[in-house]
Structure 1
Amino acid sequence: MRNKISTGLCCLAGSLLLAACGGDSSSSALPDTATNTNVIAMPSVTGPVAVTATSYPFGAADRTLMPEDLKAVGYVEEEYFVSGKANVYDWPAPGAAVVRTPDVPYTTRVLIRRPADGKKFSGNVVVEILNASNLFDLNIAWGLSGKHFVNNGDVWVGITSKPVTAETLKRFNPQRYASLSWANPLPLSDSRNCPDTAISTIIAGDSSRTTENGLFWDMYSQVGAWLKSNEKSNPLRKEAGFTVERLYGFGYSQSGGYLYTYINAIHPLDVKRYGAPIYDAYLVAVAGGAFAGISAINQCVQPPALTDPRRQFKDVGVPIIHVMSQSDYLIGIGSRRPDSDVPVDRFRHYEMAGAGHATPGELYSAAAPADIQAAGRAVPPMACNEGPRSRFPSEIHFNAMWQNLDQWVQRGVAPPSAPPIQVVDGKPVTDAYGNVVGGLRSPFVDVPTSTWNGSSTGASFCFIAGHEIPFTSARLGQLYSSKGDYVNKVVDNAHKLVGDRFLTPRDSLQLIKEAASFNFPSP
């Protein structure tokens, strides 16, 4: 049963409701429920769910391909089951979505990694739409920037975002995940419940008539509202020693396409219904244009056409950073638009020179192969025909984007702009070493020791995994007079990028350390 937020009972922090229900705040508040019936429906929450040797969260930090000890860094991990009622929407024209089927019961799962001590909490909560493209939950934001979140004191939240991954959880542990439900409210006999062949989804065959992908949108709003609330079930409530000040939405690849739909169809609906946005900013990653550029609002309608204005962000009202990789920027070139500092249209577009889309890091932080197999899913390959997935550390760009996004929201300090990767006649412009010109820069392309490719050949997602072609000793000798010369150039490049706010100081030190240990050939 849904609870209604009442100004006399609890309130959302940050931009949604006044802190302490009536205290001073420069943020906008929800109208008093006595005069407004459009209050946020709070989900009911079960958890944290007990963890034992035989029953633990799928994708738990200490059960990944490269296990992490969160306790050692002062963090805890908790899993919750979130239940409520979600609308299924239609989206016939640009603007807010409209309700097709109201109040559909659901239960999904949420994984939270947070400081054990609320005094070390930054006030930032990153809410990741867990990626479903491999048919199991991938926590890519944590895989990329988990160390950055820990160093900053941020909370990370991952939400299961699709029926197919909920089914994976049930296969993995039928007892633990028995309550998960994404049931389609339309009976099979209803003509609006389209045949399997007409279901709109980015991964063919991952959806069913018995479930409904379009339940996700209200789930995402309600989980955000819960995290900003003072509900007893919320581990981030004030009574637990936390003050949530900023909620940042994140989606990567297919989940980035989810954010296009959420931001353009549901975000304005929430602002209209509640008087303020639930999410204070968004980082939309490696999705746009013809590459996972938007998701269908429900599974029986097609997403907007490539030329539709809903495929672009405009006047959203909160800051958006949008980023593409070298694997996908050409396919997604339609996502390009000018940067803006206009308050209602704060926007940055970046393209990461050298970076691959499907990284090894996303698999290091994913559920261990044995758990993936226990759930009946295939373990994605770490290598393609050309060799291992590209080791390009795209996290250096994401860490800087998180830092800059936070400065934008907190202090109004706009992020730096960067030119896109140069394209002529539909093809990238490359330098003498085969690396692309333009885009977000790094020592890997400005002081190179390899050629970085965004695409490879082979199984699964190799076409967006990318690979590295190391330079020969002869080429390295032509570029650098000595190892010291190479290291000095990395130092100069890294320091400039820190000054331009394209690299964090911590990552700069790490890159210099790696350069110093590079196996440079002897003269």
Structure 2
Amino acid sequence: MIEQIHEIPITKESYPFSSAYKYCDFKHKQYIEKEYFMDGTSNVYQSIGNTGEVKIKYRDVSYRNRMIVRMPQDIKKASGNVVVEIINPTSFMEIERMWILAYEKFMRDGDIYVGITSKPNTIGKLMEFDENRYASLSWPNPNKEPFEFDLEDMTKKHLIPDLDIHYETGLFWDMLTDLNKLLRKNEDINPIHAYPHSYIYLTGWSQSACYLFRYLNSFRKEKTFDGYLAGGGIRNLIVPVNQYESCMDYDFRLRRVEYCPEPLISMQTESENGQFDAFRTKRNDSDNPDFLYREYEVTGSSHDTMYSYVNYYQNDEDLKRIHMLPSYIGKHKEGNDYPSQILFAAAFRNLFNWVRNGVGPQSCPRIQMEFDGSNAKDAFGNTIGGLRTCLLNYPTTRYCATSQVEIGQSFVDPTSDQDPLFGYQKAFSPTLLQELYGSLSNYEKLCRKDTKKQVSKGFVCREDAEKLVQYALNVAKKRGLK
């Protein structure tokens, strides 16, 4: 249980890691950002068999974790929606990918964001950034026994090499459940108690989406969160209950969710929709009371993009100082910059409406696939089907979801100088664009008509329609259409 919450003072000399205040124009948008320590106790669990059932192995292990909270400055402008993100730890740096993809929607609608540190492997970089601020963070390991597997061998097998005998990753499950309970309280211990906080949602990207899947499969014993949005889930990664189970042969069914009576939306990019066993674990959209589910496969997008992984950080000097500034590390000239953030904004709004009104959003056709799980391509080299925009229905570019790197190279290998899940784009020639669309003005008409259709289906927010059209026009101009 969470016993105490301590606000960490913010000054010019000491401020949160990767502070959104620097990136997102909080002063103009009238948003505020606060950071807190969470002090409490968590159980550590172990598996009963390999199908997801768990039992307590160690009770009441004391910890100190952190969370970041972003909310409207004016309480009256709060929407009542609270989004909890399992902050992604894969790069050994705290990456708030779901915030990055949806912050413009959150801030214009008055949604509250809460990000929670999900894995202690990032504490090292937090301390390198500001040791005085983060030195007290603690995820102690109650099991002092050495691992039964070889960490170096795990790295060779392309598993995530971020385990350490000095901490225990399995403390997180109770932290998450207890945070949900805390945020529902109307007491001073709740940092958002003064705000409307009726609906609480859980989200996560990539490895953190897999944390979300594991949470639903093993720790949702009763209703906890009101809804879920998983982004970019790597389906062949089953998150272990504790770090000592990292090499456990879990049942294949744990690679997907089979029971969720609260609305769950899964957003997959082209990098994951067929790879990593995803094409073997697909679930149909459902309105069954025991499984409320939508899956959207975002055609054209890749796991990492210029917008979500590079541009957001704005050449941050703090991240440069600790050698963690994200950069485009694909081998191609132009990194994928498909505006999937526009579609994620609509997905969050659909989730919120589903929870509040009980009416599920429209389903969307899935990406067409070949027998081996690869995506089927059209004559231009773009993928067929999926959640589309005018950029794919009237293309000026071939969007690729993966870099062409050496077979077998792990996308989570910290020693790699290339990122195979960072896609790229290849421009059509001005001559081809002229043949396809005639003129920029005609292309604009096509894009506006297509975007209006996507808005009517709920796949694009009305507020983002003009932005999407202008984005498409700017790309067409860059490619030489006049």
What is the match of residue 104 of structure 1?
Answer: 61
2:160 alignment partner, one of 191, 201, 204:
204
Say whether 1:280 aligns with 2:226: yes
Percent of pairs with identical residues: 31
Q: Where do 1:413-424 residues align within 5 Å?
A: 413-424=359-370
Q: Give a deviation string over 1:384-417, Cα, whole Å, max 9, x none.
A: 2112421101112111110111111000111111
1:455 aligns with 2:375: no
1:1-30 Cα distance to aligned partner (Å, 9 max, x none)? xxxxxxxxxxxxxxxxxxxxxxxxxxxxxx
Instruction: Between 146-155 and 191-200, report the one with greater CA deviation.
Output: 191-200
Q: What's the TM-score, normalizing by structure 1?
A: 0.84
Q: 1:219 to 1:288 in 2, by over 3 A?
A: same
Q: Does the 8 Å contact 2:21/2:33 carry over to 1?
A: no
Shift of 1:191: 5.9
The structure 1 residue matched to 2:356, chosen from 407, 410, 425, is 410
Once the two structures are overlaid, the 10-residue window that deviates more, 322-331 or 366-375, is 366-375
Root-mean-square deviation (CA, aligned residues, Å) is 2.2
Q: Which residue of 1 aligns with 2:75?
A: 118
Which amino acid in 1 is paired with 2:300? G
Per the alignment, residue 71 of structure 1 pairs with 27
Match of 1:318 in 2: 262
Q: State whether structure 2 residue 219 is matched by structure 1 residue 266.
A: yes
* Structure 1 residue 363 displacement after superposition: 3.4
Deviations 1:185-233 (A, max 9, x none): 112xx36786645879975332201111111111111222211112313
Residues 197 and 101 of structure 1, relative CA distance in 2, 3 Å threshold: farther
Counterpart of 2:188, as a letter, is: K
Question: Is the contact made by 1:84 and 1:107 (CA closer than 8 Å) also made in structure 2?
Answer: yes
Distance in 1 separating the partners of 2:336 and 2:463: 22
1:221 corresponds to 2:172: no
Question: Which residue of structure 2 lines up, in the alignment, with residue 257 of structure 1?
Answer: 210
SS of 1:348's partner is strand
Query: Which runs of 5 or more residues in structure 2 are unaligned?
Result: 406-415
**Which residue of structure 1 lines up, in the alignment, with residue 36 of structure 2?**
80
Is the Cα contact below 8 Å between 2:313 and 2:325 reproduced in 1? no
Q: Given that residues 313 and 326 in structure 2 are in contact (C-alpha distance below 8 angstroms), is that contact kept between their aligned partners in structure 1?
A: no
Q: Is the 8 A contact 1:42 1:225 kept in 2?
A: no
Alignment partner, residue 36 of structure 1:
none
d(CA) in 1 for partners of 2:430, 2:165: 57
Change (3 A) 1:469 1:522: closer
Q: 2:200 aligns with which of 238, 247, 258?
A: 247
Q: Of 40, 44, 48, which residue of structure 1 is paired with 2:4?
A: 44
> For the residues of structure 2 that align with 1:303 and 1:266, how far apart are their CA atoms?
20
What's the secondary structure of 1:365's corresponding residue?
helix
95 and 306 in structure 1: CA distance in 2 versus 1, 3 angstrom threshold: closer
Aligned match of 1:355: 301
Specify every segment of 5 or more residues in structure 1 that has no aligned partner in the other structure, as ranges: 1-40, 272-276
1:395 corresponds to 2:341: yes
Q: Partner of 1:56 in structure 2?
A: 15
Change (3 A) 1:263 1:303: farther
Write the distance in 1 (CA, Å) between the matches of 2:302 and 2:151.
Answer: 33
CA 1:317/1:486 → structure 2, altered by over 3 Å: closer, same or farther? Answer: same
1:105 to partner: Cα distance: 0.9
Residue in structure 1 matching 2:382, options 411, 422, 435: 435
Deviation at 1:251, TM superposition (A): 0.8
Higher alpha-carbon deviation: 202-211 or 363-372 = 363-372
Q: Distance in 2 between matches of 1:203 and 1:284?
A: 21
1:355–1:178: structure 2 CA closer, same or farther, 3 Å change rule? same
Per-residue CA shift, 1:75-103, capped at 9, x if unaligned?
A: 10000011111111112243542111111
- CA distance in structure 2 between the partners assigned to 1:176 and 1:513 by the alignment: 42
Q: Residues 297-376 of structure 1 correspond to what in structure 2 (within 5 A)? A: 297-302=241-246, 305=249, 308-331=252-275, 332-360=278-306, 361-366=308-313, 369-375=316-322
Residue 98 of structure 1 aligns to a residue in which SS? strand
The question of whether the paired residues in 2 share the 8 Å contact of 1:122 and 1:154 is answered with yes
Name the CA distance, whole Å, in 2 between partners of 1:325 and 1:303.
27
Q: Secondary structure at the match of 1:300?
A: helix
How many angstroms does 1:383 deviate by? 4.2
Letter in 1 for 2:175: M
Q: Distance in 1 between matches of 2:158 and 2:26?
A: 34
Q: How far apart are residue 57 of structure 1 and its match?
A: 0.6
2:244 counterpart letter in structure 1: C
Deviations along 1:311-340, one digit per CA (max 9) or x if unpaired, are: 221222211111211112121223311111
In the alignment, the residues of structure 1 paired with residue 247 and residue 213 of structure 2 have an alpha-carbon distance, to the nearest angstrom, of 11
Identify the range of structure 1 (97-106 vs 444-453) with the bigger mean alpha-carbon deviation: 97-106
Distance 2:61 2:427 in 1: 54
Distance in 1, matches of 2:387 and 2:25, equals 32
1:297–1:303 CA contact under 8 A, matched in 2: no
Output the CA distance in 2 between the equivalents of 1:43 and 1:253: 30
Question: Does structure 1 residue 157 correspond to structure 2 residue 157?
Answer: no
- Whether the 8 Å CA contact 2:261–2:291 is kept in 1: the answer is yes
Check whether the contact 1:253–1:285 (CA below 8 A) recurs between aligned residues. yes
Looking at structure 1, the residues matched to 443 and 250 of structure 2 have their Cα atoms a distance apart, in angstroms, of 45
- Report the AA paired with residue 362 of structure 1: Y
Counterpart of 1:11? Answer: none
SS at match of 2:24: coil
State the alpha-carbon separation in 2 of the partners of residues 420 and 466 from structure 1: 20
Contact 1:91 1:265 survives alignment (8 Å): no
Specify the SS of the correspondent of 1:379: coil
Q: Which moved more, 1:72-81 or 1:510-519?
A: 510-519
Q: 1:212 to 1:195 in 2, by over 3 A?
A: farther
Q: Name the CA shift for 1:303/1:488 in 2 (closer, same or farther; >3 Å).
A: farther
Residue 417 of structure 1: SS of its match in structure 2? coil
Kept in 1: contact 2:296–2:387 (CA 8 A):
yes
Residue 44 of structure 2: SS of its match in structure 1? strand
Hey, what's the Cα distance between the residues in 2 that align with 1:58 and 1:367? 14
Determine helix, strand or coil for the equivalent of 1:475. helix
Amino acid of the residue matched to residue 314 of structure 1? E
Q: How many pairs does the alignment contain? A: 464
> Which amino acid letter does the alignment assign opposite residue 443 of structure 1?
C
